[in-house]
């Protein structure tokens, strides 16, 4: 059974069908790519699966064997799903360390009462969390900025922090929404190597939305192509690249000489 | 600016050094420092200053509580004075009608106010920003109107002869004795707010303020934590209300809980620094002194306070506390850069 399964997943905004009858299986341990032109429903898919939007009736989402179709986001996160956002949505007034510590929230084992009396146990746990989180910051290379507000970081560092914050939830499935957008080629490689290191270390399953084809081609085991909210292709990166339906969606229909001539006259 | 903040910086260093001995030490030192304050004030020959200090300490409790829900959790509530009123009325009625001692009436008032906090907080599950402000304003003001029209709750005459707290034969019946009580309460309140805000719960509150959606997908139960913030701040308001009611001369009136008081309280939090733990304290001291010294201009007071608040939000959105924070962060950042360039050289 796949880690994440959607069946007949649909979402309409008014008259606009953003996602329509989508069946996707993300197998545990794989890197699954999700590509498609702008407006094809990739981000909507993320929002549906992570519980940010409620799906339309008739849809079903199963994650790690649990039906999460109607679950709120925090309950889904608790089951082991983490995601990043295209626009990052960092907690900018909080420090870098606090940002990742929020990610760890579901695993904090003490109660508010323990906090109030500031019991030795609470302090021990807090010290351990801080240590673990510092280690995570070490891996993503932001350790020295731990006490800076997240707003002070550069664009590339912010992307890394968003990744680290998602990782702090100790996820089974990590969903990355355009993790490399706006990065220079060097930084893209850097980011990819960090993602791969994290995947190996924590045994992650990855679902990646990306426009930079190099990222998808280099890393993904399996790719799903969306267009207008529907699946138009699925397979290994090479299969998908040569699929005529995919090429058409991305580049438009090929025209023969006669059609080009008519189009120019018109 | 550096010159202005230098003494503050020295104070911070001093207390940080104390905290290294044990985390409770700075609090004890501050407590001991503050104990002789009424003696110093009574040297002026005017008990009124001690009364003023007591009022400030009660407002510190209120504004520290309000800072938790507004500053840290980001929920704009204008109903806080209503909770303060509930705490005051509950405690005084229990004491007068049922003869409860202060030490039983106050905790009961705190619990009742906490429950009322859930009701004031409920709109936050659905509403945001100005809409939430309006909903909480309505709830808070309806508490006052309810008091004003119900004879059993004091109505237009107010509640009189509320007995002062008593330990054995020691009665907290003058301003100086009462000072020890409210000062202790304010210190405990500030200390607890530090504990809460430095914990996972505090981080959850801040995450909700910064970005609700990001907070929820990282496992934070947003509605539950919003309500929790409202309840915690209500507990503060309940304690402040009870302390206010039992303070000599033991008289409360619904005019103590008007929208003007709410604006004053908001100004304290905004001026002191939203989301800055000391902000509520700094703001309460400054604003209350200004408020008290301009009572003769009562007809333009709300207007002026409102105007100051607008100007603050535009030109100094982080308040005084924010400016200090900024200064400390910049200093740390510069130091980090220097260390880095030293390492490279």
How is A53-108 classified by DSSP, letter by letter?
A: SPPPTT-EEEETTEE-TT--HHHHHHHTEEE--TT----TTSBHHHHHHHHTGGG-
Determine the distance in angstroms separating the CA of B297 from the nearest CA of chain A, rounded to an integer.
Answer: 38
Query: What are the pLDDT digits (tens) for A153-180?
Result: 998 899 999 999 999 999 999 999 998 8
Question: What pLDDT is attached to residue B40?
Answer: 86
Look at B332 and A115 and tell me if their CB atoms are within 8 Å. Answer: no
Q: B209 Cβ partners below 8 Å, 6+ apart?
A: A93, B72, B73, B74, B275
Bin A84: left if φ > 0, else alpha if -120 < ψ < 50, else beta: beta
The C-alpha atoms of residue A97 and residue A146 are separated, in whole angstroms, by 5
pLDDT band at A187; cut points 50, 70, 90: confident
CA proximity to B284, closest of B236, B327, B227, B248: B236
Do A82 and B199 make contact, defined as CB atoms within 8 angstroms? no
List of chain B residues whose C-beta atoms are within 8 Å of the C-beta of residue A89 = 211, 213-214
**Mean pLDDT, rounded, for B70-75:** 92
Of these ranges, A149-153, B190-194, B228-232, the one predicted with the greatest mean pLDDT is B228-232
User: What residues make up the domain containing A148?
Assistant: 4-265
CA distance A50 to A255: 40
Q: Where residue B338 falls among pLDDT bands split at 50, 70, 90?
A: confident
pLDDT exceeds 80 at position A194: yes
Peptide bond into B249 cis (omega under 30): yes
Q: Which domain holds residue B64?
A: 49-257
Residue A211 confidence (pLDDT): 77
The Cα A214–Cα A238 span in angstroms is 12
Residue-level pLDDT at A256? 66
Residue A260 in this model has a pLDDT that exceeds 70: no
B-chain residues near A116 (CB < 8 A) = 192, 195-196
| B154 occurs within a structural domain | yes
Q: How far apart are CA A250 and CA A240, in angstroms?
A: 12
Task: Give chain B's domain count.
Answer: 1
Binary contact (B219, A118; C-beta < 8 A): no
Inter-helix orientation angle B175-197/B25-34, to 10° = 160
β partners of residue A62: A5, A67
Q: What number of C-beta contacts closer than 8 Å exist between A and B? A: 105
Chain B residues with CB under 8 Å of A74 CB are 216-222
Query: Higher-confidence residue: B63 or A253?
Result: B63
Contact yes or no for B60/B237 (Cβ under 8 A) = no
Per mean pLDDT, which range of A85-99, B82-96, B326-340 is the poorest? B326-340
User: Which residues of B are less than 8 Å from A108 in CB distance?
Assistant: 200
> In this structure, what token pair is assigned to residue A3?
């880690």
How far apart are alpha carbons A117 and A119 in whole angstroms? 5
Query: CA B237 to CA B76: how far, in whole Å?
Result: 16
Name the token pair of A51.
Answer: 């519980």
Measured over the CA atoms of residue B231, residue B233, residue B234 and residue B238, the dihedral's sign is positive
Lowest mean pLDDT: which of A39-48, A143-152, A224-233, B22-31?
Answer: B22-31
CA distance linking residue B53 with residue A263, whole number of Å: 84
B219 in Cβ contact with A102 (< 8 Å): no
The whole-angstrom distance between A14's CA and the closest CA on chain B is: 21
Give the residue from chain B lying closest to A83, CA to CA: B217
State the alpha helices, DSSP H only, in B122-174.
129-149
> Which secondary structure element, helix H or strand E, spans residue A131, and what is its range?
helix A120-140
Question: Is the ipTM above a cut-off of 0.85?
Answer: yes
Are residues B216 and B133 in contact, defined by beta-carbon separation less than 8 angstroms? no
Place of tokens 């301003």: B175
Measured between beta carbons, the chain B residues lying within 8 angstroms of A105 are 200, 203-204, 207, 218-220
Which residues does A contribute to its contact with B (CB < 8 Å)?
50-52, 72-74, 76-78, 82-83, 85, 89-94, 98, 101-103, 105-106, 108, 110, 112, 115-116, 118, 122, 126, 144, 147-149, 152, 165-166, 168-169
Strands across the sheet containing A230-235: A81-83, A173-177, A205-209, A31-35, A222-227, A230-235
A53-94 pLDDT, tens digit per residue, is 999 999 999 999 999 999 999 999 999 999 999 999 999 989
What is the C-alpha separation between B94 and A199, in angstroms, rounded?
61
Spell out the residues 6+ positions from residue B323 whose beta carbon is closer than 8 angstroms to its own. B1, B273, B316
Q: Say what the pLDDT of residue A182 is.
A: 83
**Chain Cα centroid distance, residue B56:** 10
Confidence category of residue B112, pLDDT binned at 50, 70, 90: very high
Chain B residue with the nearest C-alpha to that of A51: B217
The distance of A248 to chain B (nearest Cα, Å) reads 35
pLDDT at position B4 = 64
Segment A28-41, tens digit of pLDDT: 999 999 998 888 89
**Contacts B329 to A, Cβ<8 Å:** 148-149
Q: Is residue B132 part of a domain?
A: yes
Quote the pLDDT of residue B211.
95
Query: Average pLDDT for residues B333-338, to the nearest whole number?
Result: 74
Measured distance CA(A150)–CA(B208) in Å, rounded:
15
Contact assignment for A89 to B329 by CB distance below 8 Å: no
Identify the residue among A48, A89, A117, A151 best suited for mutation to test binding to B, counting B beta carbons within 10 A and taking the highest: A89
- In order of A23, A227, A237, B89, the CA distances from A234 in angstroms are 11, 12, 9, 68
* Torsion of the alpha carbons at B42, B48, B52 and B53, rounded to the nearest 10: 10
Shortest CA gap B225–chain A (Å): 11
* Higher-pLDDT residue of B276, B157: B157
Question: Which one-letter DSSP state was computed for residue B47?
Answer: T
Whether residue B324 is contained in a domain is answered as no
Q: What angle do CA B1, B3, B6 make, to 5 degrees?
A: 105
β-strand A222-227 against A60-63: which pairing, if any?
unpaired
Stretch B224-238: mean pLDDT, rounded? 96
Averaging pLDDT over each range in A63-77, A117-131, B187-201, which range is the top one? A63-77
pLDDT at res. A242: 85
- What was the pLDDT predicted at B327? 77
Cα–Cα distance measured from residue B305 to residue B282, given in angstroms and rounded to the nearest whole number: 16
Residue B3 lies in a domain: no
> At CB < 8 Å, which residues of chain B contact A?
23, 192, 195-196, 199-201, 203-204, 206-207, 209-211, 213-222, 228, 275, 329, 332-333, 336, 340
B22 φ, ψ (degrees, to nearest 5) = -160, 145
C-alpha distance from A149 to closest chain B C-alpha (Å): 8
Q: Is the pLDDT of residue B205 over 60?
A: yes
Q: Which residue of B has its CA nearest to A119?
A: B195
Residue in chain B closest to A129 (alpha carbons) equals: B200
pLDDT at B276: 82
Spatial contact of A160 and A136, defined as CB atoms under 8 Å apart: no
Q: Chain B closest CA to A20's CA: distance in Å? A: 24
Extract the tokens encoding B131.
């809409």
Domain CATH for A13: 3.40.50.300
Q: pLDDT confidence of B297, banded at 50, 70, 90?
A: confident
Residue B339 within a domain: no
- List CB contacts of A115: < 8 A, sequence separation 6 or more: A122, B195, B196, B199, B200, B201
CA atoms within 13 A on the CB side of A140: 28
Closest CA to B216 of A51, A67, A49: A51
Residues in chain B with CB shorter than 8 Å from the CB of A170 are: none
Picking from A88-92, A103-107, A203-207, B142-146, which range would have the lowest pLDDT averaged per residue?
Answer: A103-107
The whole-angstrom distance between B277's CA and the closest CA on chain A is: 14
Instruction: Answer yes or no: are the C-beta atoms of B180 and B188 closer than 8 Å.
Output: no
Dump pLDDT digits (tens) for A211-228: 777 788 888 999 999 999
d(CA A85, nearest CA chain B) in Å: 8
Q: Nearest 5 degrees, angle CA B252-CA B258-CA B261?
A: 95
**Tally of domains within chain A:** 1
- pLDDT above 50: residue B345: no
Mean per-residue pLDDT over chain B, rounded:
89
Burial class, A176, CB count within 10 angstroms (exposed 0-12 / middle 13-18 / buried 19+): buried
Q: Do B211 and A144 touch (CB under 8 A)?
A: no
Residues of A in contact with B220 (CB under 8 A): 74, 102, 105
Closest-CA distance of chain A to residue B36, Å: 28
């Amino acid at each position: 059974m796949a880690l994440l399964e959607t069946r007949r997943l649909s979402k309409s905004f008014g008259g606009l069908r953003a996602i329509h009858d989508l069946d996707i299986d993300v197998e545990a341990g794989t890197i699954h790519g999700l590509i498609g032109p702008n407006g094809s429903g990739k981000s909507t898919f993320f929002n549906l699966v992570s519980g940010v939007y409620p799906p339309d009736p008739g849809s079903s989402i199963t994650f790690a064997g649990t039906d999460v179709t109607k679950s709120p986001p925090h309950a889904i996160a608790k089951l082991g799903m983490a995601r990043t956002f295209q626009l990052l949505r960092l907690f900018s007034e909080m420090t870098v360390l606090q940002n990742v510590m929020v990610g760890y929230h579901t695993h904090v084992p003490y109660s508010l009462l323990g906090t109030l009396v500031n019991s030795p146990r609470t302090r021990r746990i807090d010290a351990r969390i801080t240590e673990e989180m510092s280690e995570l910051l070490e891996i993503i290379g932001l350790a020295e900025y731990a006490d800076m507000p997240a707003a002070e970081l550069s664009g590339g560092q912010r992307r890394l922090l968003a990744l680290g914050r998602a990782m702090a939830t100790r996820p089974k499935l990590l969903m990355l929404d355009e993790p490399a957008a706006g990065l220079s080629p060097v930084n893209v490689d850097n980011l990819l190597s960090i993602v791969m290191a994290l995947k190996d270390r924590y045994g992650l399953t990855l679902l990646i939305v990306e426009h930079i084809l190099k990222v998808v081609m280099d890393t993904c085991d399996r790719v799903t192509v969306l267009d207008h909210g529907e699946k138009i292709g699925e397979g290994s990166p090479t299969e998908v690249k040569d699929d005529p339906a995919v090429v058409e969606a991305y580049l438009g229909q090929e025209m023969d000489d006669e059609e080009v001539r008519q189009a120019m006259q018109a | 600016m550096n010159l202005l903040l230098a003494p503050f910086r020295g104070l911070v260093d001093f207390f940080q050094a104390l905290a290294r001995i044990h985390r409770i030490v700075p609090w004890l030192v501050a407590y001991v420092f503050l104990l002789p304050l009424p003696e110093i004030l009574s040297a002026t020959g005017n008990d009124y200053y001690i009364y003023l200090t007591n009022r400030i300490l009660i407002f510190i409790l209120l504004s520290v509580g309000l800072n938790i829900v507004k500053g840290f959790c980001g929920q704009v509530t204008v109903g806080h004075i209503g909770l303060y009123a509930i705490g005051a009325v509950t405690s005084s009625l229990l004491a007068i009608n049922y003869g409860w001692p202060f030490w039983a009436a106050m905790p009961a008032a705190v619990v009742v106010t906490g429950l009322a906090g859930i009701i004031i907080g409920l709109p936050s599950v659905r509403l945001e920003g100005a809409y939430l402000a309006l909903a909480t304003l309505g709830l808070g003001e309806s508490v006052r109107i309810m008091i004003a029209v119900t004879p059993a709750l004091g109505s237009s005459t107010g509640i009189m002869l509320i007995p002062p707290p008593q330990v054995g034969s020691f009665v907290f019946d003058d301003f100086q004795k009462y000072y020890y009580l409210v000062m202790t309460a304010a210190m405990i309140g500030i200390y607890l707010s530090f504990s809460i805000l430095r914990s996972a719960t505090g981080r959850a509150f801040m995450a909700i303020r910064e970005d609700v959606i990001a907070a929820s997908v990282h496992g934070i139960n947003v509605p539950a934590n919003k309500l929790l913030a409202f309840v915690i701040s209500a507990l503060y308001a309940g304690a402040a209300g009870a302390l206010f009611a039992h303070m000599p001369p033991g008289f409360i009136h619904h005019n103590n809980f008007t929208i003007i008081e709410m604006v004053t309280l908001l100004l304290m939090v905004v001026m002191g620094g939203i989301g800055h733990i000391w902000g509520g304290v700094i703001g309460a001291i400054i604003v209350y002194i200004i408020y008290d010294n301009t009572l003769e201009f009562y007809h333009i007071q709300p207007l002026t306070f409102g105007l100051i608040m607008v100007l603050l939000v535009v030109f100094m959105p982080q308040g005084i506390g924010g400016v200090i924070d900024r200064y400390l962060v910049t200093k740390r950042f510069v130091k980090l850069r220097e260390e880095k360039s030293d390492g490279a050289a």
